[in-house]
Amino acid sequence: MREMPSIAPIWTQMTPASTSGFRLLPGRLDLDAQQGLLDEVMARVAVAPFVRQVTPGGKPMSVAMTSFGALGWTTDLAGYRYERRHPATGAPWPDIPAALLDLWAELADPRTPPDACLVNFYNAEARMSLHQDRDEADFGFPVLSVSLGDTAVFRIGGTRRGDPTRSVRLASGDVCLLAGDARLIHHGVDRILPGSSRLIPGGGRINLTVRRAEPG
C-alpha cells in the first residue's frame, strides 16, 4: 500500500473509535465557487444523467447517481464495481471538473490524479446506509468529498460495523477527506435538511466523492 502524503489538517474530527484521518473543512468553497462547480456538474449530468441503480440484492437505491472521470461506480445484480461507461447511455463518463482536480491535488495527492468522481443526488427522502468504500484497488488513496446544496446529517463510525457512531452536519461548500486510518470507516447519510440551501433549484443535495479506483 502506498504511503499517504503528509498534510497538516485544518480541522480533524476523531471518530468514537479513535480513528484519525477524517478531516472536515467547513465552507471550503465560497458561494461563487459552489455555483461555478454546480454549473460544471449539471452540464455533465445533461450527457450522463442521474440513474437510480439497484443493489446486488435487487433493491433500488434512494440516491440517484452518475459519475465523472475514466471510471464510474456501478451497482446492479452482478455486484459493486467500476465501469468505463454509463449504465443507461453506454457512453464514456464525462471528465472530472477542474475545480475538483485542483482540490484533489491540494488536499489529497499532488502526484497521482483521481480517475473517478461519484456524483450522488439526494432528494428529501434519500438516505445512504452505513458502508465502507472498498471497491478501489489501493486504500492508500483517500476519498475526497464535496457537498453542494442542502445540508446532510452525515454519520461516521469506525472500521468495524459495530463501532459507536456520531453525526456531523455537512453544509453546502463543505469538503471532507477520508484518509489514513479513516479511509475505511463506516459512514452514511441519515437524512438531508430540506430548505437549508438555495443553491440547487428545487432543492436537494449533490455529493461529489473524488477517488482513485485503479492502482496508481
Alpha helices in 73-150 (DSSP H): 98-107
Per-residue pLDDT reduced to its tens digit, 101-146: 999 999 999 999 999 999 999 999 999 999 999 999 999 999 999 9
CA distance 180 to 93: 28
CA distance 102 to 23: 17
In terms of Cα–Cα distance, which of 71, 183, 179, 52 is closest to 127? 52
Per-residue pLDDT reduced to its tens digit, 56-109: 999 999 999 999 999 999 999 999 999 999 999 999 999 999 999 999 999 999
Q: What is the mean pLDDT of residues 167-189?
A: 97
Q: Is 37 helix (H, G, I), strand (E, B) or coil?
A: helix
Judged against a pLDDT cut of 70, whether residue 11 lies above it is answered with: no
- 34, containing H or E segment: helix 31-45
Q: What is the mean pLDDT of residues 6-26?
A: 54
Per-residue pLDDT reduced to its tens digit, 151-175: 999 999 999 999 999 999 999 999 9
Q: In this structure, are residues 88 and 183 in contact, taking their beta carbons and an 8 Å threshold?
A: no
pTM recorded for the entire structure? 0.90
Say which CATH superfamily domain 22-211 falls into.
Alpha-ketoglutarate-dependent dioxygenase AlkB-like (2.60.120.590)
Domain boundaries along the sequence of the chain: 22-211
Q: What is the mean pLDDT of residues 5-13?
A: 34
Percent of the chain's residues with pLDDT above 90: 90
Percent of the chain's residues with pLDDT above 70: 91
Q: In this structure, are residues 133 and 165 in contact, taking their beta carbons and an 8 Å threshold?
A: no
Judged against a pLDDT cut of 80, whether residue 148 lies above it is answered with: yes
Starting at the edge strand that comes first in sequence, how are the strands of the sheet with 187-193 ordered? 128-131, 187-193, 151-156, 166-170
Give Dmax (Cα) for the chain.
Answer: 43
The answer for 10, left when phi > 0, alpha when psi is -120 to 50, beta otherwise, is: alpha
Q: In this structure, are residues 150 and 172 in contact, taking their beta carbons and an 8 Å threshold?
A: yes
Residues in the chain: 216
In terms of Cα–Cα distance, which of 194, 109, 196, 141 is closest to 1? 141
